[in-house]
Chain A
Amino acid sequence: MTELYSASGSKVHSHKADIFCRDETRVDWHSKALWVLREKRDRAAASIPEWEQLRQLGSELKLHTLTHLTDYLQQFEQQCQANGIVVHWYKDGQEHNQIVLNILAKHQVKRLVKSKSMLTEECHMNPFLEQHGIEVVDTDLGERIIQLAKMPPSHIVVPAIHMKKQEVGELFHQQLGTKKGESDPLYLTRAARAHLREKFLTADAAMTGVNMAIADKGAVVVCTNEGNADMGANLPKLQLHSMGIDKVVPNMDAAGVLLRTLARNATGQPVTTYSSFYRGPQQGGEMHVIIVDNGRTEMMKDKILAESLKCIRCGGCLNTCPVYRRSGGYSYNYTIPGPIGIAVGAQHDDTNSIPWPAPYVAVVLMYAQLRCH
């Protein structure tokens, strides 16, 4: 069990996949659960006659933005500033973590509530802040589960997908004091709600990721199903949003296209429960947006890798990929697993793409099949 979850270091994908595959029943339900999402996605896509056109538009508008990134990033910054938002630019994870710490220290923040952000995972922000005495509480249910279990996410949209509800029940029993042997999802969810509500109400600051940054409005869009980003960002007076340089889009029209595809591709929902647009700090509050490169401009120098920056992190290719479904998220050696992880993680970890070509083939196939790009 421990081996299954804590595998890390430079072991290659096939070895880690081997570990996951020892428990065949787990592999089967993991695969099936993700296929359920894929099927929902197919139904959602089929319900819109203009689906193919939307995909094409999404792909092209992202490509357009990437090829005019300097302009859009600068426009975004100017508009944000006009809205009273403080904008920071940082080259890598280390710089990002340091500025976050500085902002939090300035406000004497002891507890930070955080909603899902793959970027902060990429930057390994939580352990850094914790070392400096700040309590970081992940507030997405799946994220909180893996945080309590001291594991990294195994999927970019459903981060605790590798865990069975019985395992969650045991974890909550140990950490949150729920009844032993209880694994009823409603009971466990209520327990998590109560536990996290207390954290929201006593947080000193909130941090979220960014699904889209709207250049001409100076606003960030954050999509969640649980409302956790909004519970966080609107209770304490200090809100931080971290984004990769690839998250900017030109305008509301572009956001409209991507909002129509994101949730349908991710979970088959017509739209996420909350798609929130933040255009400035709350009354008496402070809002910071931290723009991070962390290797993205390097990727832009390679034509193929650059295209992978069009990704909107819907997770659709993970749910589709048979290799991912049957080898688990921890077999990939990079924070972002699955087909898209191989592309965006290529520069961080050669073991993903070079010695083991199968996932790479899968990337190509999945892109071809979903044609999200």
Chain B
Amino acid sequence: MSSKNSILSALKQSALTAHPMPVIDIEVTPQPLVDTFAASLATVAGELHQQGGLAALQAKVDELMAQGLQVLSLVEGVSGNRQVPNTAHELADIDYAILAGELGVAENGAIWVSQTQHRVTPFICENLILALPEKALVANMHQAVNQVSLAQGELGVFVADHLKRQILNKHWLWGRTVHAAFRCICISVIRR
């Protein structure tokens, strides 16, 4: 018997009796989405810029480039000084990646990013800037998981919590974002 069949046939001897799928009906606490999102993002050490939209973002990018930093932008209307390379490995020296955030989650400050080409882009850059339309905010993860895109061959990721400092107590070492981007800046492209 193949391993698959032996697993499936062993499962027939399970001692558990059928349990129905529970109805997931969590009520959404009414709250101003932008303010809650901003507060959540602040607690996870992300930065939120709400003024000026894409023009302000381009101005920021211009500043970064003037400092000689390597900026890759995949957001339409914002241009950096690097093009999408042939191989993912060539992204290793990117200082800032500017990507589109598809959805922001107010309860935890997470932002959904999906990537098909060079899926390592949101992770390998030193800093990540996500441009998020203000209307793309939802209250919680229940709403979020139903709205995100996740096409075949795609990596979709909730990016959150970019505590720059390493969390530690007296004796204890604990790295967050040890390997991936150190900082997440979220630009809300629509003015309040």
Contacts and interface: CB of A to CB of B under 8 A. Distances in A.
Interface stretch (B6-14, B61-69, B74-82, B96-104): B6-14
A165 B180 contact: no
A226 B172 contact: no
Nearest to A278: B155
A91 B175 contact: no
A233 B148 CA distance: 21
Contacts of B178: 141, 189, 192-193, 196, 226-228
Contacts of A227: 123, 177-181
A315 to B, nearest CB: 13
A193 B173 CA distance: 14
Contacts of A56: 22
Contacts of A259: 141, 145, 158
Interface string A158-197: 1011011110100000000000000001101100110011
A23 interface: no
A49 interface: yes
Interface string A285-315: 0000001010001101111001100000000
Interface in B140-169: 140-142, 144-146, 148, 150-162, 165-166, 168-169
A161 B180 contact: no
Given A231-B124, A270-B108, A66 B16 contact: yes
A53 B21 CA distance: 14
Contact of B150 (A50, A196, A217): A217
Contact of A270 (B11, B17, B124, B160): B160
B44 interface: yes
A119 B85 CA distance: 36
Nearest to B176: A225
Contacts of A90: 3
B30 interface: no
A256 B20 contact: no
A234 B140 CA distance: 28
Contacts of A84: 152-153
Interface stretch (B47-55, B109-117, B129-137): B109-117
Interface string B31-73: 0000000001001100000000000000000000000000000
Contacts of A278: 155
Given A189-B173, A234-B120, A274 B157 contact: yes
A281 to B, nearest CB: 7
A245 interface: yes
Nearest to A163: B173
A283 B151 CA distance: 13
Nearest to A280: B153
Contact of A277 (B12, B157, B166): B157
A269 B161 contact: yes
A356 to B, nearest CB: 25
A254 B157 CA distance: 16
Interface in A252-272: 252-257, 259-260, 269-272
Interface of A: 29, 32-33, 36, 48-50, 53-54, 56-57, 60-61, 63-64, 66-70, 73-74, 82-84, 89-91, 95, 139, 141-142, 145, 158, 160-161, 163-166, 168, 185-186, 188-189, 192-193, 196-197, 200-201, 217, 219, 225-228, 230-231, 233-235, 245, 250, 252-257, 259-260, 269-283, 291, 293, 297-298, 300-303, 306-307
Interface of B: 2-4, 6-8, 10-22, 24, 26-27, 29, 40, 43-44, 88-89, 92, 105, 107-110, 116-120, 122-124, 140-142, 144-146, 148, 150-162, 165-166, 168-181
Closest 4 CB pairs of A and B: A227-B180, A270-B108, A297-B10, A234-B120
15 contacts: A60-B19, A61-B22, A89-B2, A185-B166, A185-B174, A185-B175, A230-B122, A234-B119, A235-B120, A235-B124, A280-B154, A283-B153, A297-B10, A300-B10, A307-B16
